[in-house]
Structure 1
C-alpha cells in the first residue's frame, strides 16, 4: 500500500469518527462514559494531544458525558472494555470485551445494581 493510499485511509477514518461524534449533539444524546489511563493522553503525539484534550474539555460540561482519567500509577484499571446498552424499551444489555474474548451479560440485574436501578 502506497503512502497516498494510507493518507486517504487515515482521512476516511477521521471523517467517519467526526461524523459519529455528531450523535452527541442530538436533542436526546446518548450517555457517554469514558474511563482511561493518564498514560493514554501522554502517549498521543504532541501535535495531536492539545486538540484531543481540548475536545475532552469541551465535552465535560455536558450532563450526559462522564470522563474519568485514572492516574498512571493506579492499579484499579482492568484491560478491556464494556458497554451498557439501553434501547429505551425491552431488556438492557451489558457487553464486556477483553483479551479473553467477548461476553454478553444478561442485563442490569447481573451488574448488581451498579447502574442505579
Structure 2
C-alpha cells in the first residue's frame, strides 16, 4: 500500500525495466547508451528515485519504443508538462488541490478505463455543476467561495476524459443511497438524476444501480476506483479515498481482489437497462 507519488515511481520503473528487457539490454548496456552510470538506471527501475521526463525519453529512445500512446503514458507518470502534447491543465490549480488529488487526476487523465463503486455520492465524472458545488461545500466546511469555484471547475474539467479520442470507458456501480441522498435540494437532485440518465446512454458509460434489496454486499466497506490503462495492464491501480488522503494499491493480489469484488457487485446490481429505467423513475417521481 502506497501513496500516489510512490506508486507512480514504482510502476514507471517496473515498466521501464520490462521495456529494457524486451530490447535485450542489460542495465549496464542501457546506461552506456544514454551516458549514465548503471546505478542511475537501477534506482529508476526500482522506484528508489524520481525521474525527469527528459530522462524517460532518453530511455524510451534507447529501447526503441515508438508506441505513441505508451510514450505519452510513461511521460505523464514521470510528471511531463506536455505529456506528449497534452497539457496537464490541473497544474493551474495547485493552490487549491492537495497532492493526492493531483495524483488522482494525473492517473485519470491517462487511464483508458475506470471502474468505480460509489456508496455516497454521484461519481465526479458524472456530476452537474450545482451538485458538484453542494458536495464540495459539504466536504470542506468553511472554504472560501473562490476556492469552491476553483474545485468545481476542476471537477467539470475532469469530465473531458469521457469526451476524448478515444474516450475513457467508465463503468460505475452506484449504491441506491447515492440516488436517494438529496444533495443540494430536490431541484438540483432531480437535474442530477436526469443527467445520469443521459450519461448512461453514452456508449462509453456503463451505469448500474445496486438496490437496497441486495442486502449486505462486498462494497459495504467503502467506495473504490480501479484505473486501467490501454497500453499495459502493469500500470493498473486501485484507489481508496479517505477524508484527508488517498491510498493506492498496486500489488497484483490487491488488483485481483478488487476486480473480482467489482465483478461480483455488477452481478448483484440491476442491469444497465433496468438501472436506467430506475433512475429515470426517480427523476420523474414515478
Shorter-chain TM-score above 0.5 = yes
Give the C-alpha shift of residue 92 in structure 1: 4.4
Inter-CA distance 88–70: structure 2 relative to 1 (3 Å threshold): same
| Number of matched pairs | 110
Q: In the aligned structure 1, how far is the partner of 2:233 from the partner of 2:223?
A: 26
Deviations 1:35-83 (A, max 9, x none): 1211112112323212211221111112221111111242223323031
- Match of residue 7, structure 1, among 137, 145, 149: 145
Q: Which is bigger in relative contact order (C-alpha 8 A, separation at least 6)?
A: 2
Contact 2:224 2:241 in 1 (8 A): yes
Inter-CA distance 10–38: structure 2 relative to 1 (3 Å threshold): same
Query: After superposition, where does 1:63-78 map in structure 2 within 5 Å?
Result: 63-74=203-214, 75-76=216-217, 77-78=219-220
Match of 1:42 in 2: 180
Q: In the aligned structure 2, how far is the partner of 1:47 from the partner of 1:105?
A: 43
Q: TM-score, normalised by structure 2?
A: 0.33
What SS does the corresponding residue of 1:32 show, helix, strand or coil?
strand
- Match of residue 234, structure 2, among 86, 91, 96: 91
Match of 1:52 in 2: 192
Contact 2:237 2:248 in 1 (8 A): no
Please, which runs of 5 or more residues in structure 2 have no aligned partner? 1-141, 263-286
Match of 2:124 in 1: none
Q: In the aligned structure 2, how far is the partner of 1:98 from the partner of 1:12?
A: 20
Q: TM-score, normalised by structure 1?
A: 0.72
What SS does the corresponding residue of 1:91 show, helix, strand or coil?
helix
Inter-CA distance 98–54: structure 2 relative to 1 (3 Å threshold): same
Inter-CA distance 26–13: structure 2 relative to 1 (3 Å threshold): same
- Structure with bigger helix share is 2
User: Computing the radius of gyration over CA atoms, which structure comes out larger, 1 or 2?
Assistant: 2
RMSD: 3.1
- Structure with bigger strand share is 1
After the TM superposition, which parts of structure 1 deviate over 4 Å for at least 4 consecutive aligned residues? none
Give the C-alpha shift of residue 98 in structure 1: 6.4
